[in-house]
Structure 1
Amino acid sequence: MAGGGAAYQSSSASPDWLNKGDNAWQMTSATLVGLQSMPGLVILYGSIVKKKWAINSAFMALYAFAAVWLCWVVWAYNMSFGDRLLPFWGKARPALGQRFLVAQSQLTATAVRYRDGSLEAEMLHPFYPAATMVYFQCVFASITVIILAGSLLGRMDIKAWMAFVPLWITFSYTVSAFSLWGGGFLFQWGVIDYSGGYVIHLSSGIAGLTAAYWVGPRSASDRERFPPNNILLVLAGAGLLWLGWTGFNGGDPYSANIDSSMAVLNTHICASTSLLMWTLLDVFFFGKPSVIGAVQGMITGLVCITPGAVERKQTKENKVSKEESKRLQLLHSGLLGSSYSRLNRLFKAWCKGGQPLSWEFSQVASPGTL
């Protein structure tokens, strides 16, 4: 055992390009995001609906998490982050070969060139293996389709959902991901989506609203009264969702650096502000606070900060500018996002009487996508 450490240090498992701190933080962030889905949203969905739909709703989230994993490694990862096929799509190929997975991660289509063909910016190549990037991006793809499921709880047959998940990941999510994150046309235009305001929240929200429209409304009695079956479990699932957002926004700089620290701090400031604002609005409009309202306020704040969790600029004197005003912007994001969502609760297009989780993700995320 005494020589094991030396053998490990000199082995191919620790190449010169590997930054162990970045790799550890990226895998930790991915695990936190994974916990948001499983068991976070599994618990939240199973408890926020009527008891008769609890098992089906929880299983929809569980199935989606597993199905996305297989789709991702067999074809969807490279369609989202691989070589360019079309301006909005990468080439479909497996992400399973050992030579590919242990090599340094590279997003080949993210190189930016001037019109004359000269290189403006090199492609992204984080200092950890492709296996880490595949893992990190997979949990984001998983939570996107699970967010979408919030619009279909209690109204969609599980067999139809089983067919829908791989189709949506293939023909919708990969287009969004490659267009903006993988080096597609939106990336080349300079569109900024820090951590998923467009790729995750807007796409899942619009898809959820559209799916709910075509699937159709629930019965009139269910639309009139839709109480959660276990409020304590709703809080447990929401807690996992909130703390998991540490990895959701903190992992997107692709490095353990200052931006990741700022993103984590900004995320929790905005979520707390939005939760408290929603609670105050509940007291103002209805005379008492609401647990479900507080949870929706928390989600609103988390989504609202996601597209721009980091905005750090430097002046000519090499001093960080706008950081003090950024704190105030976070409070404004929480206040405005919570107020906007709270008033829009009257909007009947929110999943036609169902839980408005997916539409809520999109309506507060879309203004934040630059």
Structure 2
Amino acid sequence: MAASPPNSLPVAYQAGTSLAVPLWLNKGDNAWQMISATLVGLQSVPGLVILYGSIVKKKWAVNSAFMALYAFAAVVICWVTWAYKMSFGHKLLPFWGKAGPALGQKFLLEWATLPETTQYFGSGGVETAMAKPYYPMATMVWFQCVFAAITLIILAGSLLARMNIKAWMMFVPLWLTFSYTVGAFSLWGGGFLFHWGVMDYSGGYVIHLSSGIAGFTAAYWVGPRSRKDRERFPPNNVILTLAGAGLLWMGWAGFNGGDPYAANIDSSVAVLNTNICAATSLLVWTWLDVIFFKKPSVIGAVQGMITGLVCITPGAGLVQGWAAIIMGILSGSVPWFTMMIVHKKTKVFQKIDDTLGVFHTHAVAGLLGGILTGLFAEPELCKLFLPITSSRGGVYGGSGGKQILKQIVGGLFIIGWNLVVTSVICVVINLVIPLRMPDEELMIGDDAVHGEEAYALWGDGEKYDPTKHDIYSDDTLHPKPSSGATQVV
């Protein structure tokens, strides 16, 4: 084989070497995007599957893990069948794309484009060209799919330990279709908030604010857990909870690092800022627990980690490292205050049973991060990513003050849409099937709902004996009185 000419690329890095390597394909970008998608997928399966299955009471471990697993699978099919193009296809409305399948070979092998992302100056000239990452549509479809899936799984955290699993199976495709796609198109796919200049680097609004508000809203319509579960709901495995949390943290490199749609310098900044903010937030939350409650809580540390990851998400590649630390301090303290102080003193929080506090860890932290992004977004970093080249945060003067207002308005749109649409979805489903489990299933847990238990151990749940028609409570270790003779088995 003849030697390569001087200064030419090695064959492995050249385009056009086969039909599978078109001239527009950048192998490095494509590899990073597929890795990022895999990392985000691992956050859900097994990350949140493990976290949910271990952070709940033992009798709900199987049901909680399965809600996450089911949502992931259901979103994949809905996404490629109609929802991707509603989020990133051609415009139907200023906040919604036209539905259509993303399954055909011709579509999936072509150069990736986000058709509504061309940004124009007021005079009519092109300010920023259409987003065209250097890889195929198949990569883009899958990358965005795992983001949609984790949003539904985060939302599920508000509904654990009482939502009828059949109602959840209906809820997932409906909410994906009528809520998630609206936020995704409006802020990412070329909708009105995208072109107005609202900043959401990687989903502080599209994913976290929407799931936190929708989860809290759905929790209202579903109703609370059983009184016994609300009074005592210990994690069944704290170590596995940490394992799930660790997968979530490390997977966030793909979550925020993949959103420039390239393996570029802004991606590197985003990954570093993500870890800076998460670490700071975890430490601050832990310090607050020690100061006010005298003990460092492992579950509290996990919550602080999550709020840091959520808070930095809308600005990961847009802010400097010192701003990431400030955001971490605030994400470790503001959601801590709303969860540990405000929650316990406010009637609405006491009435609405948000099982894992998703409102605080995702809605509060997501909105906080969006507003802080409007404050700290650095102009040179904004030019690397945003369609409006003059974008800047409030601390940098100029038009920065308007940016904070834009961030607030964008957040209010996501909040309002999810309050209304989630309520409508829940009311409609409840006409067909009850949103809440029957009382007997709430008493027994996994064994009644799935016929399966997480651990072959006696402890913490209730067991139904069909031969004696008795329900035994292993919280009290006393059998429920019945008409016949009973014994603890």
TM bracket (short chain): over 0.9
How far apart, CA to CA, are the structure 2 residues paired with 1:78 and 1:28?
23
Residue 181, structure 1, aligned to residue 195, structure 2: no
Q: Secondary structure at the match of 1:198?
A: helix
> Do the aligned partners of residues 353 and 136 (structure 1) sit closer, same or farther apart at CA in structure 2, a change above 3 Å counting?
closer
Q: Corresponding residue for 2:335?
A: 341
Q: Corresponding residue for 2:367?
A: 366
Q: Deviations over 1:225-276 (max 9, x none)?
A: 2111110110010000000001000001111011111111110111111111
How far apart, CA to CA, are the structure 2 residues paired with 1:335 and 1:115?
39
Identify which of 185, 206, 211 aligns with 1:199: 206
Identify which of 63, 75, 80 aligns with 2:70: 63
Q: Corresponding residue for 1:330?
A: 324
Q: 1:9: how far off?
A: 5.8
Question: When the two structures are superposed, what TM-score results if normalisation uses the length of structure 1?
Answer: 0.92
Identify which of 231, 238, 241 aligns with 1:224: 231
Residue 171, structure 1, aligned to residue 178, structure 2: yes
> Do the aligned partners of residues 51 and 141 (structure 1) sit closer, same or farther apart at CA in structure 2, a change above 3 Å counting?
same
Counterpart amino acid of residue 305 in structure 1: I
How far apart, CA to CA, are the structure 2 residues paired with 1:353 and 1:236?
23
> Do the aligned partners of residues 353 and 118 (structure 1) sit closer, same or farther apart at CA in structure 2, a change above 3 Å counting?
closer
Counterpart amino acid of residue 172 in structure 1: S
Q: Deviations over 1:56-111 (max 9, x none)?
A: 11000000000000000000000000011110111101001111111110000111
Q: Corresponding residue for 1:319?
A: none
Question: When the two structures are superposed, what TM-score results if normalisation uses the length of structure 2?
Answer: 0.70
Segment of structure 1 superposing worse, 38-47 or 9-18: 9-18
How far apart, CA to CA, are the structure 1 residues paired with 2:188 and 2:360?
22
Q: 1:174: how far off?
A: 0.3
> Do the aligned partners of residues 227 and 254 (structure 1) sit closer, same or farther apart at CA in structure 2, a change above 3 Å counting?
same
How far apart, CA to CA, are the structure 1 residues paired with 2:305 and 2:153?
18
Q: Corresponding residue for 1:214?
A: 221
Counterpart amino acid of residue 134 in structure 1: V
Q: Corresponding residue for 1:317?
A: none
Segment of structure 1 superposing worse, 336-345 or 71-80: 336-345
Q: Secondary structure at the match of 1:105?
A: coil
Counterpart amino acid of residue 47 in structure 2: G
Identify which of 274, 286, 299 aligns with 1:292: 299
Contact 1:148/1:208 (8 A) holds in 2:
yes
Q: 1:342: how far off?
A: 1.2
Q: Secondary structure at the match of 1:123?
A: coil
How far apart, CA to CA, are the structure 2 residues paired with 1:339 and 1:40?
25
Q: Corresponding residue for 1:354?
A: 355
Contact 2:201/2:318 (8 A) holds in 1:
no
Identify which of 147, 151, 154 aligns with 2:154: 147
Contact 1:107/1:123 (8 A) holds in 2:
yes
Runs of 4+ in structure 1 deviating by more than 6 angstroms, as ranges, are none
Q: Corresponding residue for 2:393?
A: none
Alignment RMSD (CA, Å)? 1.7
How far apart, CA to CA, are the structure 1 residues paired with 2:165 and 2:292?
38
> Do the aligned partners of residues 358 and 33 (structure 1) sit closer, same or farther apart at CA in structure 2, a change above 3 Å counting?
farther
Q: 1:117: how far off?
A: 4.2
Percent identity, aligned pairs only?
69
Contact 1:307/1:368 (8 A) holds in 2:
yes
Counterpart amino acid of residue 101 in structure 1: L
How far apart, CA to CA, are the structure 1 residues paired with 2:123 and 2:314?
32
Q: 1:10: how far off?
A: 2.7
In structure 2, runs of 5+ residues without a counterpart are 1-10, 371-406, 408-489
Q: 1:359: how far off?
A: 3.9
Q: Deviations over 1:332-367 (max 9, x none)?
A: 111111111111113152852622135411101113
Counterpart amino acid of residue 237 in structure 1: G
Contact 1:49/1:226 (8 A) holds in 2:
yes
Alignment of structure 1 residues 1-20 onto 2, 5 Å: 10-20=17-27
Which has the larger helix fraction?
1
Alignment of structure 1 residues 239-250 onto 2, 5 Å: 239-250=246-257
Segment of structure 1 superposing worse, 170-179 or 353-362: 353-362
Contact 1:206/1:359 (8 A) holds in 2:
no
Segment of structure 1 superposing worse, 114-123 or 64-73: 114-123
Counterpart amino acid of residue 362 in structure 2: F
Counterpart amino acid of residue 39 in structure 1: P
Q: Corresponding residue for 2:282?
A: 275
Q: 1:136: how far off?
A: 0.3
Alignment of structure 1 residues 92-107 onto 2, 5 Å: 92-107=99-114
Q: Corresponding residue for 1:43?
A: 50
In structure 1, runs of 5+ residues without a counterpart are 313-325
Q: 1:152: how far off?
A: 0.3
> Do the aligned partners of residues 256 and 102 (structure 1) sit closer, same or farther apart at CA in structure 2, a change above 3 Å counting?
same
User: Using CA pairs below 8 Å that are at least 6 residues apart, which structure has the higher relative contact order?
Assistant: 1
